[in-house]
């Protein structure tokens, strides 16, 4: 049997607003509802940021706590992944929700440019976030915006600094960072296969490239991410009606390449995460 493909849905992010697409869930209640539909459509990981009432990005642990509680109730078994990507300039508050012990949290291990700012991840902050994840039993998903981030993730994991199984996400198509490039993508995969054969990898593309990277990752045997955080359109002229719609088109690609869509149980097994408590 071919390996199941884990679909992650990045529901909200820190940039897209209702003005860009009214389907972007920004309140905790909207996030829970949107995630439940994405879960039913085949997503087994939810990647979440939280927002303030005015839609600006927030690091408020109370909002994360309410979100986690609602997700556990309405999406039992789904893997909950909180973002520590956070806001420009923010330091340790980016990890303020880690004591809530979500299954996973995103972790950036190096710096790079974003569309209009430097995405700053100094070594001491990376070490602190990784250590706090270890203390709370949180498996990182390393966000690799560059080749050096993949190599750094492998090194940190080998040194025992990353909790659990190594899981690296290739992010391509962020303006001013690594573009969507087939040769680079193939080299990323080769680096993972040669140097971290026991690890798992996934890939995410930004904007119109979301579907391109979904297809490359699914065809190559990796896992993949979709959702309104990375892309608000379903095609060039049409806004995506929901996170679930983006999950469905990813699931259709899995079918095209005869990859079963991973259930939450399979996804937990593949990523070495604890099984969810029986609901
Ligand atoms: Zn994110």
Dihedral sign computed on CA atoms, order 174, 42, 7, 130: positive
Asked if residue 39 belongs to a domain, the reply is yes
Q: Report the CATH number at residue 97.
A: 3.20.20.70
Residue 2 Cα to ligand 1 midpoint, Å, equals 29
Asked if residue 1 belongs to a domain, the reply is no
Domain of 141, in residue numbers: 7-270
pLDDT above 70 as % of the chain: 97
Angle 134-139-141 (CA atoms, 0-180°, nearest 5)? 125
How large is the average pLDDT for residues 212-227? Answer: 98
If one counts the domains in the chain, the total is 1
Measured N-to-C along each axis, helices 147-158 and 182-195 cross at an angle, to the nearest 10 degrees, of: 10
Asked if residue 275 belongs to a domain, the reply is no
Residue 1 Cα to ligand 1 midpoint, Å, equals 32
Angstrom distances, CA of residue 236 to CA of 19, 21, 161, 210, 231 = 17, 14, 42, 12, 11
Residue 279 Cα to ligand 1 midpoint, Å, equals 28
Asked if residue 107 belongs to a domain, the reply is yes
Cα(221)–Cα(10) distance, rounded to whole angstroms?
20
pLDDT at 87: 65
Residue 86 Cα to ligand 1 midpoint, Å, equals 8
Classify residue 232 as exposed, middle or buried by CB count within 10 Å of its CB (0-12, 13-18, 19+).
Answer: buried
246 — pLDDT class (breaks 50, 70, 90) = very high
Q: How many CB atoms lie within 10 A of CB 2?
A: 10
Asked if residue 2 belongs to a domain, the reply is no
- The pLDDT tens digits of the residues spanning 26-68 come to 999 999 999 999 999 999 999 999 999 999 999 999 999 999 9
Average pLDDT, the chain: 96
Asked if residue 250 belongs to a domain, the reply is yes
Residue 95 Cα to ligand 1 midpoint, Å, equals 13
Asked if residue 277 belongs to a domain, the reply is no
Asked if residue 176 belongs to a domain, the reply is yes
């Amino acid at each position: 049997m071919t390996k199941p493909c884990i679909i992650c849905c990045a529901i909200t992010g820190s940039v897209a607003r209702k003005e860009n697409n009214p389907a972007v869930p920004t309140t905790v209640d909207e996030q829970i509802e949107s995630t439940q539909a994405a879960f039913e459509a085949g997503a087994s990981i939810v990647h979440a940021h939280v927002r303030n009432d005015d839609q600006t990005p927030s690091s408020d642990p109370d909002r994360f706590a309410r979100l986690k509680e609602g997700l556990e109730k309405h999406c039992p078994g789904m893997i909950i992944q909180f973002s520590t990507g956070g806001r420009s300039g923010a330091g340790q508050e980016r990890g303020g929700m880690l004591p809530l012990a979500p299954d996973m949290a995103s972790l950036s291990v190096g710096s790079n440019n974003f569309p209009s700012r430097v995405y700053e991840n100094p070594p001491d902050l990376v070490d602190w976030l990784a250590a706090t994840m270890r203390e709370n039993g949180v498996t990182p998903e390393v966000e690799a915006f560059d080749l050096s981030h993949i190599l750094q993730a492998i090194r940190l994991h080998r040194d025992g600094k990353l909790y659990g199984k190594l899981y690296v996400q290739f992010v391509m198509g962020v303006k001013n960072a690594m573009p969507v490039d087939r040769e680079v993508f193939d080299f990323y995969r080769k680096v993972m296969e040669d140097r971290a054969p026991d690890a798992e990898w996934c890939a995410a593309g930004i904007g119109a490239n979301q579907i391109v990277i979904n297809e490359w990752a699914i065809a190559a045997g990796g896992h993949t991410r979709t959702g309104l955080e990375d892309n608000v359109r379903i095609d060039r002229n049409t806004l995506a009606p929901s996170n679930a719609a983006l999950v469905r088109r990813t699931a259709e690609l899995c079918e095209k390449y005869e990859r079963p869509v991973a259930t939450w149980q399979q996804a937990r097994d593949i990523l070495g995460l604890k099984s969810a408590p029986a609901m």
